[in-house]
Structure 1
Amino acid sequence: MASDAIFIHHTDSSGYKFGEEHPFDPLRITLTIDLLKEINAISEKQMEAPPSYSEEELLSLVHRTDYLSAVKQLSEDAEFNDSSTLAQQFGLHTEDTPYFPGMHKAAMTIVSGSVAAADAVMTGRTKHAYHIAGGLHHAFPDRASGFCVYNDAAVAIKHIRQTYDARVLYIDTDVHHGDGVQWVFYDDPNVCTYSIHETGKFLFPGTGFVYEKGVDHGLGACYNVPLEPYTEDDSWLESFNVTLRKVIEAFKPDIIISQHGCDAHAYDPLSHIHCSMRIYAEIPAIIHELAHEHTDGRWIALGGGGYDIFRVVPRAWSLVWLTMIEHPIAKAVTAGEAPSLPDSWLQRWAAISPLKLPTKWLDDPSDIEPMPRRTEITEKNRAMQKIVVQDI
């Protein structure tokens, strides 16, 4: 196996937790790392904690000073008398993104991890870097949104632009539009944002339409691929391949940063896309190929959404790392084979999983009901593909 990849992780990331009943559960990370260890695909020695960075220096690249002050204040004193007003002002009062003690420290740890991944790749210390806790793509400069407090992806991209003057292609495969990253770079011709997601007509955040193409000098450096609800594997992968390959050929990036939200799976409770584990084998394989073809292998991968935390996330996120290190399991799964998951992992987590765990890396096709409108959905997605690529 190749070893030219670094896995960035800090245990303080587990502090990024909104509450016991909240769907954004850091247990996803524990499950994934445990699965990788069970198949001997990673060891403690291969996992690096990010170094300490200046909070003000990094966060101020994207976020407003008054917002940062509010996050710190709400983090340190959950009983702050004026907390409800302060929280409402900065988007930290909703059920989706409520403030919690220790919020700033945990969110800053995640930002540090994504910046560390960027430095590792841009300095040439490694070709690939994976920061599984990253990918908080909905946060805005002045407010929290969609489970996201600080936008680690946007900070990492700003850091790359400022420090290394590199052209960045950001690829977002989360089922929800990568709005926060898009709007930060909407006028920047040197950062191309590409997001493939369920159409905002029906799903949060309600944006990411094909006509969102950038403004001023950034016009033409923003691409959105909104898919119809209940899109299945073949149409999803066709849309991804047709559009992304044209985008990367036209933009000519120096580095790829990809966000690997895995909530387009049919099991996910927060969306309507109807895909299987097949796309989560293909996505990193395609990006890995494109990185070696277009960016001399420079590729940073981040986590993101994914709310079936037992059946989907561990397999999907593991496959990103397995692809980076060219592990035999990734090659087998991409080829359509379905190796078994380790019995030790299944036995350890079956007791607390609310649903029966899958036993193989790929889903049993009989477990996912096919969609009756498949042809109609595919035709609508193909029409959308033509609009996306017509001006490239």
Structure 2
Amino acid sequence: MKRAHNFSAGPAALPTEVLEKVREELLDYKNTGTSIMEKSHRGKEYTEVDQQAKERLTRILGLGNDFHIMFLQGGATAQFMQVPLNFLEEHETADYINTGVWSQKAIKETKLFGNVHIPFSSEEEQFSRVPNDDELQLSDQPRYLHYTSNNTIYGTQFQQEPKSDGAPLVCDASSDFLSREIDVDRYGLIYAGAQKNLGPSGVTVVIVKKEFLESISKKNIPTFLDYRSHATRILNTPPTFAVYMVNLVLEWFEDKGGIPYFKKLNQEKSDLLYSTIDVDDFFRGTAQKDSRSKMNVTFRLPSEELEKKFLEEAANNDLVALKGHRSVGGIRASIYNACRLESVKALADFMEYFRAKNG
């Protein structure tokens, strides 16, 4: 069986151990004679999967009893709309830090429901950085402060939570979820599409503080889009297979050592690639150094012709999915939790070879 070095930005690499377990259980889940995909979402087996996944997330993040965890559908894109639909009245203002395409999409949706104030934007700098706290010009009383913790397209990442002057944080954490510690007490809501760091596409984890949820005062929210409908029960048929895989990834994550283990590993992987890039100006990182992402390493070569050659030769060496986002071009290595250190070492070795041959 051939397994390539997969640097896909999402859907992204999954742990081999998890895929092997899925293969083992696919036809016969725990000697029941049926697949987990064929079981009722209200039956004993799936209910146990759902509960285990929520318990593991609670334990990993140290959530205590202060949060609800939901497994929803529609990706982060649906959350761009669902957050303001629930939490923002027409006369209220929410602050949105603009650090890229995903922030822009969230801002566009939010303007349908209330006022948006942008305390910082790096658009004029081609979204090459995230702000320092002293650059944030917050509004007087924002309902919440929204930010995208990691920007897959531009290779930038917040190194810590931004200041919010007491307003609850709302975070699109899709592309760096569970890669480092977070200060959970500062959050009203966190959402993350699973297909980067947590599992396959098709399920979105939404974590909402109970106190924040109770602050919803709107009356006319459609049942399915009302977070309160999902907080304490399974409202409708969820993406059961995707949640099953999320549970297995969380089990693997804990067995490896949890956040401390992956924080150290992600630092090692990103340090290796950035040190390879910074040797000279043959490779040029696109993110400013103090904003560099540990999840998505983006860089350019001296010409588009060399970039095309780099991608072709990399693929011939089983280094796949390295093409930058279509909107910006270049090269992008996505090195989420499940991307092995061996894969990153193989990429760094290839980069050195390619530079020696073409520099």
Bin the TM-score by the shorter chain: 0.3 to 0.5
Q: TM-score, normalised by structure 2?
A: 0.33
Between Structure 1 and Structure 2, which shows a larger proportion of strand residues?
A: 2
Higher relative contact order structure (alpha carbons within 8 Å, sequence separation ≥ 6): 2
Q: TM-score, normalised by structure 1?
A: 0.31
